[in-house]
Amino acid sequence: MDKKTKPNEPIVTHLFTADPSAHVFEGKIYIYPSHDLDHDGPTNDNGDQYAMEDYHVLSMDNFDSPCVDHGEALHVRDIPWAKQQLWAPDAAFKNNKYYLFFPARDKDDIFRLGVATSSAPEGPFTPQENYIPGSYSIDPAVFVDEDDRAYIYFGGLWGGQLEKWQTGEFLSDAEGPELTEPALGPRIAELSEDMLTFKESPTEISIIDEDGNPILAGDEERRFFEGAWVHKYNDYYYLSYSTGTTHKIAYAISKAPQGPFTYKGTILNPVIGWTTHHSIVQFEDKWYLFYHDCSLSDGVDHKRSVKYTEITYNADGTIQTIDPYK
């Protein structure tokens, strides 16, 4: 694709892409999306329609440039422990290396998180032999703080299996909490220096309201569903995430990477398609939201396209809500 990209339009149209994790590496914008397959198989709440097999890394020199597809960066056939479903990935740079973090189902059909390394931001990436010990569920997002400590955030309900890990073990019949109980939060673990293992057992993040009460499982407008992302702005950590069944990108803020995070509002109103998944990145002096929708496929939930738009902070640090179609 050699056309320059435009806000709120697919950044590529030759592939279906989703779940964009955007980063500025080597002065350019690199996007690590899922690569949706163009198939017409059945759809269910388990997410079997999201049958992705590989990753392509995309990049743009700046927001006036075309988007370049760097080709296949990693394929499920090359990941020894993984069986299927390469869902939303993220990337990080540390130790002079690039790391690709990704979820996939293992041979027992349990979602785990893997890591692969490369000397270049576009890959190709070489996966580790095994998944990260102690990892589970989906949607890894890695935040490397100013002190160089790296944290991985992860988790997702329903097809993402987070409900099944409430005891610390995988219980295939486990359901989520009662609607009047605190909602399940995303998990966090600090990563080891080499970025390949957890330094500690993952803990649950608490998302609370302005009065300090936990957001409840029945509060579907505000509770965490999947797709955690963390960025830092004016010394606050911003945790943003999908509310799933209400299709919003919501956010909460904290003074610490582990939270608790106080709910603040909606960043992105619902897009065309069931899922919504995003990332937030600063490029030069502006901030951008990368997101996806299903407009290019006329609303087929598992054929999505990555787009971007600028975000605006208010003077008090809150983020103005974006309507994707205005």
Strand, coil or helix: 160: helix
Which residue from 90, 122, 226, 293 is in contact with ligand FUB, where contact means CB under 6 A?
226
- Taking CB under 6 A as the criterion, the residue among 19, 90, 163, 219 binding ligand FUB is 19
User: What is the nearest approach in angstroms of ligand FUB to the Cβ of residue 43?
Assistant: 12
Is 89 one of the binding residues for ligand FUB (CB under 6 A)?
A: no
Give the C-alpha separation, 7 to 5, whole Å: 7
Q: Tell me how far CA of residue 164 lies from CA of 104, 115, 150, 158, 159, in angstroms.
A: 16, 22, 26, 9, 10
Residue 18 binds to ligand FUB (criterion: CB under 6 A): yes
Q: Does 111 bind ligand FUB (CB under 6 A)?
A: no
Verify cis geometry, omega within 30 degrees of 0, for the bond prior to 103.
no
The question of whether 26 is a catalytic residue gets the answer no
237 makes contact with ligand FUB (CB under 6 A):
no
Q: Closer CB to ligand FUB, residue 56 or residue 277? A: 277
Amino acid of residue 93: F
φ and ψ at 295, to 5 degrees? Answer: -65, -40
Q: Does 34 bind ligand FUB (CB under 6 A)?
A: yes
Query: What part of residues 245-304 is at the interface with ligand FUB (CB under 6 A)?
Result: 275, 277
Structure tokens at 187: 């998990």
Alpha carbon of 123 to those of 21, 69, 120: distances in Å?
15, 12, 5
Examine residue 227 and tell whether it contacts ligand FUB (CB under 6 A).
Answer: yes
Q: How many CA atoms lie within 13 A of 317 on its CB side?
A: 16
Examine residue 157 and tell whether it contacts ligand FUB (CB under 6 A).
Answer: no
- Are 288 and 267 contacting, i.e. CB atoms less than 8 angstroms apart? no
Count residues near ligand FUB (CB under 6 A): 13
Answer yes or no: 40 catalytic.
yes
Distance CA 193, CA 195 (A): 5
Per CB under 6 A, 122 contacts ligand FUB: no
Structure tokens at 236: 């606050």
Q: Residue 264 or residue 278: which is nearer to ligand FUB going by CB? A: 278
CA-closest candidate to residue 136, choices 91, 179, 97, 172: 172
The answer to the question of residue 138 lying near ligand FUB (CB under 6 A) is yes
Give yes or no for residue 17 binding ligand FUB (CB under 6 A).
Answer: no
Residue of 54, 106, 204, 209 marked catalytic: 204
Q: Which residues bind ligand FUB (CB under 6 A)?
A: 18-19, 34, 50, 87-88, 138-139, 156, 226-227, 275, 277
